[in-house]
A and B are shown apart, each in its own frame.
Chain A
Amino acid sequence: MRGLLEKVALLVGMGLIAVLVAPPAGATPQDIQNDRFGVALKAPRGWTEIPTKVDEQWIVAKYLSDKIYRYNTEQGWTREFQPEMTVLAFVKAEDGDRGAFKDYEDYLDKTYRSGGFYVSDRAGKKAGKVEATALEITVEKLADAPKYLITWVYHLDDMDVAVQFEVLQDSWKKLKSTANRSFKSFETIERKEDAELPDQDRRGSWISMSDLTSGTPSERRKARMEYELAHREKARAALPDDWTADQIGSCFVLNHTDDRYAKKLVEQVEAVMGWLDDSFPFVGPDEYVRQPILRICASRDEEYSFREGGDGSWGTGIEIVTCRDRNDWTDWEVGWVNSQVFRLWFQDRSFPLYLALPSWIKAGISEQLQNARAKGRKLDFRQDDWDRDRLRQIYREGRQHSPRNLMQMTQEDFYDDWENRRQACALVDFLLSGKSSKTKEVLGDYMRNVQAVVEEIELGEDAESLAKEKPKTEAEEDALYKKRRNLWKDRERRVLEMAYDRTFGSWSDRDWEKFEKTYFDSID
């Protein structure tokens, strides 16, 4: 009993002590504590943290609501929206300049794309000792639904920090207390001693393709591997706690879903890479292809939230952003991943060839890959039923293009009719299938010829040299203008004609008839 009493006394004593040293009510730790910018505040309860992009310079933190709100349009459609909270910092440079964005409103002017807006109210506020401006910004014209951006802009000595809530107008009343809790919790904290504030001088601190494609193959390899490493480290550092960052196979995966799905996607990426290696071995065989970073968001809304706003950088595309979509769009997402792998592979193996690839090949391969699924390490090319039916209808209506015609279309003509993509896909599929002995090697030969022509074409009259010409009369100037205006079109036509002639120069009309018959029969 004495022992028990002693224990109780001890516990009470500890409880008392605990009460005495417990922090005052309401002073719970801040959810957002950023020691780079020296700011802290509470995030809305239950909202999901969204990672920031690599090289992000303005967005400090982002959160997505757990709840979906709805709005009914005049036309009777229902729009869904998940409110967002974004924290942004606008740093003053030593000369007082603010870099790419003068202030928060300038940032909105240059980056906000969800509708037209105007400041409907403005008031001075305070959070503790920090002066702030509270803005009510109304979003109406060209918006999916009427919204507010409710923002407090805190004015610190060397920066402005904006805490912005984007909400449907209808739901602002319900969310007001949530937002106010965050606004009023804002405080400054000690900055990390060696913290470097971002250089916000320009938008999009990306490395250009020319940085990654100049020099010798081994110099390029080195530059690309360095870029890969740097990008991974930055991406990892910017991840919220509930994401993982792991090397899975040949991909670096930033994951906010389950491991099983991530592994399935990596398998898909590797199967596409393998197929490209096998199908086009002659394209840049000595080139290093950067390993993709797969960023898998938990949902489509999370993906959209990640993509919005910020530095406007497009990077050089080793990050493939996708999501685990639970609304039967998974097939489309996998098709998207495939197309991004195709782009990355071709750009790194031969950027000039990628740029010069005729539309029918680029679109044809891209469409092929939309429906390709990994089967072990191989790719299984499925045909989409709807696409097949559309093709049959085109042929029934006599609107099909002959392969000869398709292969000689300029980009402008090709994209004039969206159905050309389907036809290009059918043609590429036929050529890759090797159904005709004559055409087994055609696609490879054709692409090798395109590559050779691109390397050969002497751009003696290229844009740079045309720019240096100084005409003496208006007639000379008009002729030069015509040349300049048609330069790229002419170049494209030459590539198409020369590649075609080199590949099919020896084909007779009879050869073409046989080929086209086999080809059109294969579609039925």
Chain B
Amino acid sequence: MKRMRRLVSGAFVLAVSVTPVCADVLCLRDGRIYEGLDLQHVEGGIELAYEHGRVFVPSALVLHALDEAAAPFVPRTPEEKVKASQGLRPFGDEWVPEGRLDRLVQDQVKKSKAALEELRAHQDWVNHYSEKSKNFNFESTVPRHIFEDYRNKMEAYFQTFKKTWKIGKPANGKLNVCLYSKRKEFHRTSGASSNTLGYFRHVPPYDLNIYYDRFDPTRSEDVMFHEANHYLQKLIDEDFSYPHWPGEALAEYYGASSYDLETKTFETGLVQEGRLIQIQRDIDSGEWWSVEKIVASGDDSVFEHYTWGWALVHYLMNQKEHEKDFVKFFKALAKGKDIEQVRGAWNMRTVRGEEIWRAFRDYLGLKSAEDVRELEADFHRYIQEDLTVQSVAGIEKAAMAAYTQNRNLRALRLFQEAVDAGSTNARTYFYYGKQLMQEGKGDEAIAMWKRSIELDPLVGETWHLLGEATHRKDQDEGDRLLALAREIDPDGDFD
């Protein structure tokens, strides 16, 4: 087996000939840390030796891999033999004199250990990172490189929203943004309920709490942009509480934003594919929401404000003839002298449903019932023709929705579409495998779980399902895989 010592796209792979105590440590890019394992460097990544088998982890997933009990360098190729005869040894992409090697390696071991210690030390909330940026205060337990991306995205988001909505500085201090790396810690520390992935505390001290889901970082980002939007809406008028519609709908609109870290551009107005799928489900059930129903129910906590309500905002913000009017309408709800406001929860000013509807018609220039019908017809057409699920992520979401709704045939088709479109989401293959198993297609399910493992090798549950399926044909191999699953995730609840 060829020993590789090289820096691989941000991952530091290090092998050292020191006292052979198994203190190997693997740290993945998503923040997971594995210790006390026997790891070896192989072509393309790291191999972990468990009692019940070896697991390959691709380099792309690795942040740090510290192998303290590596075997001494043995030259194999002619080039390596020449270098070795010159008294040189490989270190990263270089060849260095043997005398210097130990010192270089010791320095790197020290740095690597320090980096790992730093990561471990900040994984519990009591020792979270704290950092201030121009417009936010951050507290976080996510790995540094992930945190920095989120910080940059939030700052870009603030500037983009400020440009369109002309918001001012907060009177009650910067928003506290809290990012959590573990789900249990998120629910425990933030007090959020089990079905919440993030929330914004809308009275001072303002507080935003977001769970960074390594299985679905796009969704975490969506939630962060959505919840942060409630804060940005607050900066229009801090004494005003936006009604459910258009407040939640605008938050959904901005939830589907994207920041390109390389070009540093922030793009808004993307399609909330998950919400679009829910709308399509309503339409399949024969339910259509009218514009009046969406807007006039604005003061109620109606779920459809996140779906149909979002679609209406998306439609209005993407139509040249409506965008400026909608922005004026939105700001007028808080600041307009012609708006009848009332005092609501927390004694904050807000607007009732009927008045929202009146103002909406007024600002959008809908003078008659015919105008409303025309707008509605175009809005419904927009949903059916202009909003489509296009991205792989969108197809995956549609597949998952079908899976959870027990629409098995639809789920099978959509999962296959996601695979054909080149999905690299381990969870997609995981659930596709489950769907196939349900249909009695064991061999195909096994293939999906194997692919899921290739993409994310250290999920005990996938190994467990693979073990159960394998057990039917090969008991010994099945038992081995089940035991391996337990080694990878000793606390996993697989039943």
Q: Which residues of A from 107 to 139 have beta carbons under 8 Å from B?
A: 108-109, 115-121
A481 at the interface (CB under 8 A from B): yes
B191 touches A143 (CB 8 A): yes
Closest A residue to B187 using CB positions:
A109
A118 to B184, CA, bound (A): 11
B112 at the interface (CB under 8 A from A): no
Given A141-B207, A474-B410, A474-B413, A118–B285 Cβ distance below 8 Å? no
B191 touches A486 (CB 8 A): no
Given A477-B409, A482-B286, A118–B189 Cβ distance below 8 Å? yes
Contact among A119, A141, A416, A478 with B191 in the assembled complex (CB-CB below 8 Å): A141
Given A474-B413, A478-B284, A482-B285, A109–B188 Cβ distance below 8 Å? yes
Give the shortest distance, in Å, between A133 (CB) and chain B (any CB): 15
B189 touches A142 (CB 8 A): no
Q: Which residues of B from 326 to 363 have beta carbons under 8 Å from A?
A: 346
Give the shortest distance, in Å, between B477 (CB) and chain A (any CB): 27
A198 at the interface (CB under 8 A from B): no
Closest A residue to B186 using CB positions:
A116
A74 to B172, CA, bound (A): 11
User: How many pairs, one residue from A and one from B, have CB atoms within 8 Å of each other in the complex?
Assistant: 64
A474 to B411, CA, bound (A): 10
Give the shortest distance, in Å, between B98 (CB) and chain A (any CB): 46
Q: For B409, list chain A residues within 8 Å (CB).
A: 471, 473-474, 477
B300 touches A416 (CB 8 A): yes
Given A477-B409, A482-B285, A118–B188 Cβ distance below 8 Å? yes
B124 touches A118 (CB 8 A): yes
B233 at the interface (CB under 8 A from A): no
A477 touches B407 (CB 8 A): yes
A interface bracket (residues with beta carbon within 8 Å of B) = 20 to 34
Q: For B300, list chain A residues within 8 Å (CB).
A: 416
B285 touches A116 (CB 8 A): no
Given A474-B409, A477-B409, A116–B204 Cβ distance below 8 Å? no
Q: Which residues of A from 400 to 453 have beta carbons under 8 Å from B?
A: 416
Give the shortest distance, in Å, between B316 (CB) and chain A (any CB): 25
Closest A residue to B176 using CB positions:
A141
Q: For B209, list chain A residues within 8 Å (CB).
A: 116, 141
B189 touches A141 (CB 8 A): yes
A74 touches B204 (CB 8 A): yes
B285 touches A486 (CB 8 A): yes
Q: For A474, list chain B residues within 8 Å (CB).
A: 407, 409-410, 413
B interface bracket (residues with beta carbon within 8 Å of A) = 20 to 34
B205 touches A478 (CB 8 A): no
A142 to B346, CA, bound (A): 15
Q: For A482, list chain B residues within 8 Å (CB).
A: 284-286
B191 touches A115 (CB 8 A): yes
A74 to B190, CA, bound (A): 19
B185 at the interface (CB under 8 A from A): yes
B188 touches A75 (CB 8 A): no
Give the shortest distance, in Å, between A415 (CB) and chain B (any CB): 10
Q: For A471, list chain B residues within 8 Å (CB).
A: 409
A485 at the interface (CB under 8 A from B): yes
A119 touches B126 (CB 8 A): yes
Closest A residue to B207 using CB positions:
A141
Q: Which residues of A from 475 to 492 have beta carbons under 8 Å from B?
A: 477-478, 481-482, 485-486
A141 touches B407 (CB 8 A): no
1/0 per position for B86-115, CB-CB distance to A under 8 A? 000000000000000000000000000000
B203 at the interface (CB under 8 A from A): yes
A471 to B410, CA, bound (A): 11
Q: For B124, list chain A residues within 8 Å (CB).
A: 118-119
A330 to B237, CA, bound (A): 41
B190 touches A141 (CB 8 A): yes
Contact among A74, A116, A478 with B189 in the assembled complex (CB-CB below 8 Å): A116
B12 at the interface (CB under 8 A from A): no
Given A474-B410, A477-B407, A482-B286, A117–B205 Cβ distance below 8 Å? no
Q: For B165, list chain A residues within 8 Å (CB).
A: none
Q: For A115, list chain B residues within 8 Å (CB).
A: 191
Give the shortest distance, in Å, between A485 (CB) and chain B (any CB): 6
Contact among A75, A118, A416 with B125 in the assembled complex (CB-CB below 8 Å): A118
Q: Which residues of B from 392 to 413 have beta carbons under 8 Å from A?
A: 405-410, 413
B84 at the interface (CB under 8 A from A): no
A117 touches B405 (CB 8 A): no
A485 to B286, CA, bound (A): 11
A74 touches B286 (CB 8 A): no
1/0 per position for A457-472, CB-CB distance to B under 8 A? 0000000000000010
Q: For B406, list chain A residues within 8 Å (CB).
A: 481
A165 to B405, CA, bound (A): 45
Closest A residue to B204 using CB positions:
A74
Given A143-B191, A477-B408, A118–B185 Cβ distance below 8 Å? yes
Q: For A117, list chain B residues within 8 Å (CB).
A: 188-189, 191
A119 to B184, CA, bound (A): 13
Q: For A486, list chain B residues within 8 Å (CB).
A: 285
Given A109-B187, A481-B405, A74–B207 Cβ distance below 8 Å? no
A116 touches B190 (CB 8 A): yes
Closest B residue to A74 using CB positions:
B204
B201 at the interface (CB under 8 A from A): yes
A477 touches B188 (CB 8 A): no
A-B contact pairs, 13 of them (CB 8 A): A109-B187, A109-B188, A115-B191, A116-B192, A118-B125, A141-B189, A142-B192, A143-B191, A474-B410, A474-B413, A478-B410, A481-B407, A482-B284
A interface vs B, CB < 8 Å? 74-75, 108-109, 115-121, 141-143, 416, 471, 473-474, 477-478, 481-482, 485-486
**With contacts A116-B192, A478-B284 known, what are 4 further pairs, Cβ within 8 A?**
A116-B188, A118-B124, A119-B124, A120-B126
B interface vs A, CB < 8 Å? 124-126, 184-185, 187-192, 201, 203-205, 207, 209, 284-286, 300, 346, 405-410, 413
